[in-house]
Amino acid sequence: MSIHDKDELALFGGAPVRSVPFPPHPVIGDAEKQAVMEVLDSGRLSSFIAAPGVFFLGGERIKELERRFAEAHGVAHAVSFNSATAALHAAVVAVGVQPGDEVIVPPYTFTSTATCALMQNAVPVFADIEADYYCLDPAAAEAAITGLTRALVPVHLFGQPADIHAVVDLARRRGVKVIEDCAQAPFATVGDRRVGTFGDCGIFSFTESKTMTTGEGGMLITDDPEIARIAQMVRNHGEMIVEGQKSRSYRTDFLGWNYRMTEMEAALGIVQLGRLPELNETRVRLADHLSKGLADLPGLAPPALRPGSQHVYYVYPFTFDEDAAGCPRADFVRAMAAEGIPLGAGYVAPLYMSPIYQDRAAAAFRHYEGSARYDKGLCPVTERMYEREVVLTGVARAPATEADMDDIVAAAAKVLGQAHRLG
């Protein structure tokens, strides 16, 4: 055997299936560069002074990005932020969550889906996910509702829409609000509507890894003028800086922060928003190709697709069955890395296992009178996905091609063909 031996696993010294890295992301083209340069040349870098007497509502590009984003979703208001975390925080305040309240979230998501409640001195209550789609299980959410529940935060995870009609129905029946976390799923659809338009508001992330990026950035959309008003005030130190109303800066009405986006970010965002349909189409095409290739391999199952919805594959998840594959997931992932295919095992640990919940390390817990629990075993489906079943790849996106996806399939076939030698 030599390093040129293609049949030998790279883990054991054979030639890897792939020796070049996958193409880098994001793709920043001439249009993005020109848009940002125009802002730099203008010298108006944040320009929250739009016109005499109109302060802190955003410069020209911010206004344009908000207008286009609202139009793209058919909603009345889009409020830009410097991250989705900031938008989540503002959303929690704007829908009326009070200190001591509970907010129901899935534990299989990014940390700030849950910590946004703690930011308002409210407490996250974790409800399990659906085994097939990995999103908040409406039945589990219903079981978690108490007299303290004020809001539900379904997450359209990995780009797959949550069971949003069931979540919204539940919320309406029980008199609680819905904040859709669309950070990973801009332009994913349920029926003919884009995610973010079903709940009381929806939030989006434009951080570097996301499907459209502004470097860092976020957006909140809503049809509710009161949610839009409060979100704008949270964005701006709790001052009365609200579209269409007389500005009143230097007077703080309630606690707010500086969550404002810059003009450079907005300029980038306008171009990226225009490219989003094409960027999503590439993800879907590559994901479909990958699903076809992986479907016949032992122990791997491509992602289930919710009928009537469009997944946009922020990442591509598949499930791993250790018995059928013939080796532990960790060994599969290690062998694939040696073949030049980077994969993630499990996504994030169930959020309730983090020290902040285990140690009740947030001010919110000092005054909390409910009985939220964070014990291991709380959400068994999430724990199973994290510990044993879910595998992710983030490389099925532009500018990668079908040939790049074929390398993933070839490496998986090679590794699984010798799975008995692993573990």
Ligand X SMILES: Cc1ncc(COP(=O)(O)O)c(C=O)c1O
Residues near ligand X (CB under 6 A): 83-85, 109-110, 112-113, 155, 181, 183-184, 205, 207, 218
Q: Count helices and strands (H / E) in the chain.
A: 13, 18
Nearer to ligand X by C-beta: 155 or 233?
A: 155
Whose Cβ is closer to ligand X: residue 18's or residue 194's?
194
- 197 vs 214, beta carbon nearer ligand X: 214
The residue (of 289 and 306) whose beta carbon lies closer to ligand X is 306
Of residues 109 and 236, the one with the C-beta less far from ligand X: 109
Q: Which residue has the tokens 């095409």?
A: 285
Least CB distance from residue 326 to ligand X, whole Å?
A: 33
Strand-pair partners of 240: 248
Tally of CA atoms within 13 A in the half-sphere of 150 that contains its CB: 20
d(CA 285, CA 298): 23
Residue 157 or 415: the one with the smaller Cβ distance to ligand X is: 157
- Closest approach of ligand X to the CB of residue 103, in Å: 14
- Smallest distance from ligand X to CB 201, Å: 14
From the CB of 246, what's the least distance to ligand X, in Å?
Answer: 31
Distance of closest approach, residue 380 Cβ to ligand X, in angstroms: 21
In 3D space, the residue among 95, 96, 93, 117 whose CA is nearest the CA of residue 105 turns out to be 117
Q: What are phi and psi of 142, to 5 degrees?
A: -65, -40
- CB distance 414 to 14 below 8 Å: no
- Taking only Cα atoms into account, the Rg of the chain, rounded to an integer number of angstroms, comes to 23
Measured CA to CA in angstroms, residue 74 lies from 198, 221, 349 at distances of 11, 10, 36
User: Maximum Cα–Cα distance for the chain, whole Å?
Assistant: 77
Q: How far is the CB of 395 from ligand X (least distance, A)?
A: 17
For ligand X, give the closer residue by CB, 314 or 368: 314
DSSP string over 140-167:
HHHHH--TTEEEE--B-GGGPPP-HHHH
Least distance in Å: CB of 13 to ligand X?
37
